[in-house]
Structure formats: C-alpha cells, structure tokens
Amino acid sequence: MSLPLAERLRPVTLSQLIGQQHLTAQGSMLQKALEINKVPSMILWGPPGVGKTTIANIIAHSLDRPFYTLSAISSGVKDVRAVIEKASTEQEVILFIDEIHRFNKGQQDALLYAVEKGIITLIGATTENPSFEVNSALLSRCQVYILKSLTADDLSQLLHHALQVDVVLQTMNITIEEEQALIQLSGGDARKLLNLLELVVNNLSNENEITITNERVMLIAQNNIALYDKNGEQHYDIISAFIKSMRGSDPNAAVYWLARMIAGGEDVKFIARRMIIFASEDIGNANPNALLLANATFESVNKIGYPEARIILSQCAIYLATSVKSNASYMAIETALAWVKSHGDLPVPLHIRNAPTSLMKNLQYGKGYQYDHHESLNFAGQELLPEAISGTTIYQPGNNSKEAEIRNFLKLRWKEKYNY
C-alpha cells in the first residue's frame, strides 16, 4: 500500500523544506546548530501543517541520532519514563513529543531531569502558546522556535513541487488549471494541501488527462469532509452533536461524539469547559450537583491528561446526559438582559441603596430597608426591583421535582406577586 502523498514528500533536509526561511536558511540559528552538531532542547510553536514534525525528523536524520516519538494525546508518564530509561543506555537521544501542550504538569515534570542532565534532547511541538501551556521549569531549559503559516506562494510552490517529484503523480497527466481553491481550503497547512490534492487526483484518476479547477476541487472537498479538524467546521459540528446528545438525554450518542473528539486529539480542557457550561445552562438547579461534578471533571482532567482523562470525561458526560434537565437559569439571565437592554439603567430603589456616609443617609439612602432575618420565614417581602418593572417575573422554575420545591418556596413567600 502506497504511503500518503504528504509522507512521500516529507523533506529530509532543511534545504528541501518549503517555508520557514527564518529557521532553515543558511546562517539561521537552527542551520548553525546542525552544522556544529549541537542542537538544544527546543519547543516548535506554530499552527498545524507548517513543518514542526518534519523539522524534528530532519534534525534526527541530519545528526544520525537515536530518535523516539511520543504523542501527548495517547502517552502518559509511564511512556515518558520508558523512553528516558532506554535513552540512559544510549548516546545523544532525541525525544520528539507531538502536542506537548496536552501533557499535564506531572507528565511535563517527568521530562525535567532527563533534559537537565542531557539524557535526552527534547523537541516538543505545540500549536498553543508555550508560555501558558508548557510549565516554566521545562520551558526555561528549551529554545522556543516560532513557525509561521505557509503563504499562498509557499503553497503554490509545494503544489508544483509535488507534481514534479512525486513518483505516483509523475505517472499521471495532471494539469492544475486553477489552484485558488486548493490553497484556500488548506488554510496555510501543507499537510492538508497535499491530502486535498491527493483526494482530488484519486477522485479523477479514471480520466486520461486530469485537469484540476476550483469548481472540481470544491465539489470533491464538499463530498469528502475530513474526519475531525479541530480548527475547522467539523470541530464545531461534533461539539454541537455532543452537547445536543447530552441535552437530549442520550448517553450513547454523547459518549460516541466524545470519542470522536478524543480520537481527533481535541483538548481535554475544551471538552471539560463545554461540560461545565452545559451543566449550568441545560441542567441548572434541577440538579445542582451536575455543576459540581463538571467543575471537578475540569480540575481532574487538567491534572491527569490523556489517555486516562478519557475515563473521567466519559463518566461526566454520562452523568450529564442522564440527569434531569432545566434551562430556567439560562432563560432567567437572558430575560433579565433583555429587560436591561429595553429599559436602560433603571434607578436602584432608595431603601436598598448602600449608605456608607451621613450625606447618603440624609438623602434617604437605605431608609425603610427591612432586614429579612428579623422577619418570619426570614422574609420581609419588600420591593427589590426598580419601580418601572415591579412585579416582573424573570425566573420561571423548570418542570422538575427540585424546581417544583423552589416554586413552592417562592409562592409561599411572594403569594401572587410573581404568579408562582
């Protein structure tokens, strides 16, 4: 089976790499480091498909050193320690960790000693700002190199390079009549560009002369949506499906869409944050424990990281999906905001204004306020809304047992005022 086009064209020297001239040109820091055979531990920071993995492979190939690769998505502390143990019996080992920002603090700390003592040369790749996502102790031991998105000229050069040198494409009669769609859909990502080119060619492979146009590219691309692109449209489609599956009380669908995100390398914190929002927006006071569990999930997955975080995420997703639902809190704040927008800054009633000075007291601030704890049921029943919207019902308890108790609580106190 033939390798994908992007792998067949992966450069093996810096001179073959398209783009990133500030790093790869003659006289650059990276070029000089390779020439003297002294490459520091480094973090390669840049968007997807701009050459982070390729540069790591080029460094290992150029220096002819033992090279180990780990993915932060699927590796844990145990895997890191296993590589370090192997490295301690070898010389000048390079360890490449893709998506290093997904390692939690414990996993990153496991690298510190080996980096500090020179047991490994670490090359970490990240799409996130390392100042925030890589702990300071590890970051201080690494050189940070910033990679830029490929320009339209870079991508055009890559397209024509592929047609000229790839052993498979050379056997076909291919003409790129229009390249704008290919370049636009790639979003500055070389890997995505080559994958799309290969997809288009494969779809047109029954033609003796393949002519690539913008229209044909768009048609083929729309019929072959990528499995998961965390920076693209389907990223939002899948998180939407996940949220709606929990809202629809289907734990089976919720865990399936969760698995799609995990398999696609989605950030655990992104998933956990969305579950915190869901717990308040879609469950709320129908089951207040949901928010506590979602928040605990966020804290836990941030400490644990992948791969074990998948278990915690699954537990929380199932709990949220099978919990009683209410969007009453969400609707209440939306209603209140609508009132604020339509009525402006209504004055605070005098009796509930703050009166820290004698002047304010003379202006009747706080006069007539009834301290609720001095009253029966710890409830005075005084007016607390601006006069212009007095009696307006903003919060409507949901139709569930917990909020039925809340409705009864309010009705007992406010009688007919808010129609509870």
344-414 adopts what CATH topology? post-AAA+ oligomerization domain-like (1.10.3710)
The CATH class for the domain spanning 233-321 reads mainly alpha
Q: In angstroms, rounded to a whole number, what is the distance separating the alpha carbons of residues 358 and 378?
A: 28
In this prediction, residue 210 carries a pLDDT of: 93
Interhelix angle for 289-304 vs 268-278, to 10°? 170
Question: In 185-323, which ranges are E strands?
Answer: 209-212
Q: Which residues contact 357 (CB under 8 A, 6 or more apart)?
A: none
- For the chain, the maximum distance between any two Cα atoms, rounded to a whole number of angstroms, is 93
In this prediction, residue 224 carries a pLDDT of: 54
Q: Which amino acid is at 8?
A: R
In this prediction, residue 338 carries a pLDDT of: 92
Q: In angstroms, rounded to a whole number, what is the distance separating the alpha carbons of residues 77 and 249?
A: 35
In this prediction, residue 235 carries a pLDDT of: 67
If you ran DSSP here, which 8-state letter would residue 306 be given? T
What SS3 class is residue 94?
strand
Where in the chain do CATH 3.40.50.300 domains reside? 20-146
In this prediction, residue 228 carries a pLDDT of: 47
* Among candidate residues 250, 199, 244, 205, the one with its CA nearest the CA of residue 222: 199
- In this prediction the pTM is 0.54
Where in the chain do CATH 1.10.3710 domains reside? 344-414
Mean pLDDT by 10 residues, the chain (420 residues): 83 87 83 86 89 89 87 84 90 89 84 91 90 86 90 93 92 92 86 91 91 90 55 69 95 95 84 96 96 96 88 97 96 94 90 86 88 92 93 94 95 94
In this prediction, residue 348 carries a pLDDT of: 92
**67 phi and psi angles, rounded to 5 deg:** -130, 120
CB atoms within 10 A of CB 27: 7
CA distances from 279 to 298, 395, 400 (A): 12, 18, 15
User: DSSP letters of 6-31?
Assistant: HHHT--SSGGG--S-HHHHSTT-HHH
Where in the chain do CATH 1.20.272.10 domains reside? 233-321
Sheet holding 143-146, edge to edge: 67-71, 93-98, 120-126, 42-45, 143-146
In this prediction, residue 223 carries a pLDDT of: 61
In this prediction, residue 192 carries a pLDDT of: 87
Instruction: Look up residue 404 and give its two tokens.
Output: 């039925």
Q: In angstroms, rounded to a whole number, what is the distance separating the alpha carbons of residues 154 and 87?
A: 37
20-146 adopts what CATH topology? Rossmann fold (3.40.50)
Length of the chain: 420
Sign of CA dihedral 348, 354, 359, 362: positive
* Among candidate residues 179, 166, 230, 158, the one with its CA nearest the CA of residue 4: 166
Q: What angle do CA 327, 329, 331 make, to 5 degrees?
A: 70
Supply the CATH classification number for the domain 152-222.
1.10.8.60
In this prediction, residue 122 carries a pLDDT of: 94
